[in-house]
């Protein structure tokens, strides 16, 4: 699926910290914890709590956030629709990574087990 390059650029320049607080609010509202959120973010990015907090404090963009991340090799197993787009069809690599993050946050908020969110290749 093709997403307009202006949208890709907007996503790249968006501050991770500005979205992170929405992620926390979303999962907590649905009965999950900030620690569970951190666990799935760590699975996706390789960031421990200290590194994640540093990303927030430094107000890095999504572009920098994912440049510094060590994306989990099983992230490509994340599929489905998020924000009206099929994740696996998004051409822009950064936008796809951001949507991977959006998707696992959605799954956490919807009550999916963490073990299922952290895809394992069988």
Model confidence pLDDT, tens digit, residues 39-76: 999 999 999 999 999 999 999 999 999 999 999 999 99
Secondary structure element (H or E) that encloses residue 68, with its range: helix 62-68
- Whether residue 122 lies inside any domain: the answer is no
- Joined together, the tokens standing for residue 25 give 């609010």
- Whether residue 121 lies inside any domain: the answer is no
- Whether residue 35 lies inside any domain: the answer is yes
Residue 32 — pLDDT band, cuts 50, 70, 90?
very high
Instruction: Give helix 16-29 / helix 49-57 axis angle, nearest 10°.
Output: 120
CATH of the domain at 55: 1.10.8.290
Domain holding 100, by residue range, is 5-115
Mean pLDDT of the chain: 93
**CB-CB contact of 47 with 101 (8 Å):** no
Domain count, the chain: 1
- Whether residue 41 lies inside any domain: the answer is yes
- Whether residue 120 lies inside any domain: the answer is no
Question: Cα–Cα distance between 19 and 118 in angstroms, integer?
Answer: 21
Q: Is the pTM of this model over 0.95?
A: no
């Amino acid at each position: 699926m093709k997403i307009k390059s202006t949208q890709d650029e907007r996503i790249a320049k968006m501050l991770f910290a500005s979205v992170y607080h929405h992620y926390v609010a979303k999962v907590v509202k649905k009965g999950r914890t900030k620690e569970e959120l951190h666990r799935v973010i760590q699975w996706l990015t390789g960031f421990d709590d200290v590194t994640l907090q540093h990303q927030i404090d430094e107000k890095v963009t999504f572009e920098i956030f994912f440049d510094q991340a060590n994306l989990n090799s099983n992230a490509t197993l994340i599929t489905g629709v998020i924000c009206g787009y099929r994740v696996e069809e998004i051409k822009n690599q950064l936008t796809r990574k951001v949507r991977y993050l959006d998707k696992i946050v959605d799954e956490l908020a919807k009550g999916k087990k963490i073990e299922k969110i952290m895809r394992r290749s069988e």
